[in-house]
Amino acid sequence: MKHLVLSMASVGLQAAVLSAVLALPASAATVYQAQEHLSKKQLAALVGSAKTPAEHERIAAYYRAESERLTAEADRHADLAGRFLGNSATNNDKSVRGTVIHCISMERRLRAKSAKARARAEEQHRIAQAAERTP
């Protein structure tokens, strides 16, 4: 009987994990779709050729959107880790511990990437401002 209860909890946990994972791309895309989509090749070409304030602001907008998307994804990973740890029925399970470690690791990595994207956006904004002041 105890095994059956644990199996049912495991099935519920698996369903929660699947729901959270399936929700990640859709909600992350919401922030990103608000901005112009540039492929990596287009971005690289724009970064290499940008001269006008508008071009630098376009690059800054790309990096701001990327930073927001990465932060939202990091927040979801942090939330998921908290849910696993907060559930007394599952927080001792070895596979869940692996999931928590994964979520925490992903959160840290995503926040670092978000900070880099935010710094690039700020740099491009400063370049755009300087280009506006230059005759």
| Tens of pLDDT, residues 22-38 | 444 444 434 444 457 88
DSSP 127: H
Mean pLDDT calculated for residue range 123-135: 90
pLDDT, one tens digit per residue, over 62-77 is 999 999 999 999 999 9
Query: Is pLDDT at 94 greater than 80 in this prediction?
Result: no
Q: Domain spans of the chain? A: 2-133
Q: What is the DSSP string of 2-62?
A: HHHHHHHHHHHHHHHHHHHHHHHHHHHHHHHHTS----HHHHHHHHHH--SHHHHHHHHHH
Greater pLDDT, 29 or 133: 133
